[in-house]
A and B are shown apart, each in its own frame.
Chain A
Amino acid sequence: RKEVEQDPGPFNVPEGATVAFNCTYSNSASQSFFWYRQDCRKEPKLLMSVYSSGNEDGRFTAQLNRASQYISLLIRDSKLSDSATYLCVVAASGGSYIPTFGRGTSLIVHP
């Protein structure tokens, strides 16, 4: 089983739609969780950190479910500019803290 798994998609949605991605992780010692966004041929950029209590930033909501070992990202009122690949990142506590990236979920928002 891969350490961090994501549905590669693509998720093809119309403008204004609500879309949700999940990401599962295998290491129960994981302590830090992030969502990054990567545009085509660009570097990844932090979208948001994921906190235990869940957190919201405008149209974006991230949640963590430790019991089931997954994190989620919800995007409301999708914009054309949301089209990108969304990368899930998980880092374990202790040891060498190497962050593990999922392979990403591709989102295409169409008019």
Chain B
Amino acid sequence: GAGVSQSPSNKVTEKGKDVELRCDPISGHTALYWYRQSLGQGLEFLIYFQGNSAPDKSGLPSDRFSAERTGGSVSTLTIQRTQQEDSAVYLCASSELVAGAETQYFGPGTRLLVL
């Protein structure tokens, strides 16, 4: 079956512009996560959704970052006024049931480069 998909796969933008990243989780998966991975670094948790609600937003680096999920499916991560330090791979993952206790399936990521 279809896995987690993300779009765009690559995004180059200029400093100060807004970007929107999209994640399509596996159908029926309740939990959805966003992570960020800088070159050679580990995964940095950003936010997760249980259904359409986000119980914990503490991982978002700043108020320039926001995320939403609608219909218990697609999620978008928006970065406003991008900065060069936002350059990273943004990974989305979904899991079937309760966040954390279940296997996460990752999408291929969006590689963001802020010039």
**Interface of A with B (CB < 8 Å)?**
31-32, 34, 42-46, 49, 87, 89, 91-93, 96-104
Contacts and interface: CB of A to CB of B under 8 A. Distances in A.
B100 A103 contact: no
Interface string B41-54: 11101001000000
Contacts of B59: 98
Interface of B: 33, 35, 41-43, 45, 48, 55-56, 59, 91, 98-101, 103-109
A43 B108 contact: yes
Main secondary structure of the interface of A (DSSP, over half): strand
A46 B107 CA distance: 12
B91 A43 contact: yes
B78 to A, nearest CB: 21
Nearest to A31: B101
Interface centre among A31, A97, A104 (most CB of B within 10 A): A97
